[in-house]
Amino acid sequence: MEQYEILPGTWYKSLRYALKHFHADRILLRTTGPVAGTVIVGERLDGKWMDLTKTEEGLLIEINGQKRGVFNVKKSRHIKPLDGKSWALAYERISDDNLLFYASSGFPNSIEKYTGPDDSRLPKVRTTMFRAVNMSQYIEVAFIGKIPILPTQRLVTKNFPDWYYWEINETKTTK
């Protein structure tokens, strides 16, 4: 899957925007232990209402009004705080042969020529995922279809002159 880093400091606003304008399909919250860790919340959202709220405790996950878990966002001795650099948006693309399209990243590298998320030669996006990891947990919120994004002017690192942070393209909203 290709992945695009979200502009630091905008992850919560971007996630809230996606919840309002796109159809959330599933959520996964798990520990980052050996062999994928322990699932805390793993649920398909067919016909269910989900809300994600940033609280002092962390990112509170509620499904149908019931608290289901918290993704840690506050700093502690054992938990790295989440700044915007920890969040990314990934596209799941399925080829005509019903295979997962493999892309190393959302920036140029030695394996693939960078084409960008809107290249018409790429398979259609089936799922868009917001995901993040800290020292103890991994979270993934999947949305049906493609959430459009735009590159910002800010580079992730000076070592890669074409590796930009991204933001949601709010002019192309659908639900």
Domain count, the chain: 1
- pLDDT exceeds 50 at position 71: yes
- pLDDT exceeds 70 at position 105: no
Number of C-beta neighbours around residue 28 at 10 A:
16
Instruction: State the residue range of the domain holding 20.
Output: 2-172
Tens digits of residue pLDDT in 14-54: 999 999 999 999 999 998 877 778 999 999 999 999 999 98
Q: Look at residue 146 in the predicted model and tell me its pLDDT.
A: 95
* 13, containing H or E segment: helix 11-21
Q: What is the mean pLDDT of the chain?
A: 82
Judging by DSSP bridges, how do beta strands 66-71 and 137-144 pair with one another? unpaired
Residue type at 132? A
Tens digits of residue pLDDT in 106-124: 545 555 565 678 877 778 8
Asked if residues 8 and 130 have their Cβ atoms less than 8 Å apart, the reply is: no
- pLDDT exceeds 70 at position 134: yes
Q: Is 9 left (phi over 0), alpha (psi -120 to 50) or beta?
A: left
Tell me the whole-structure pTM to 2 decimals.
0.83
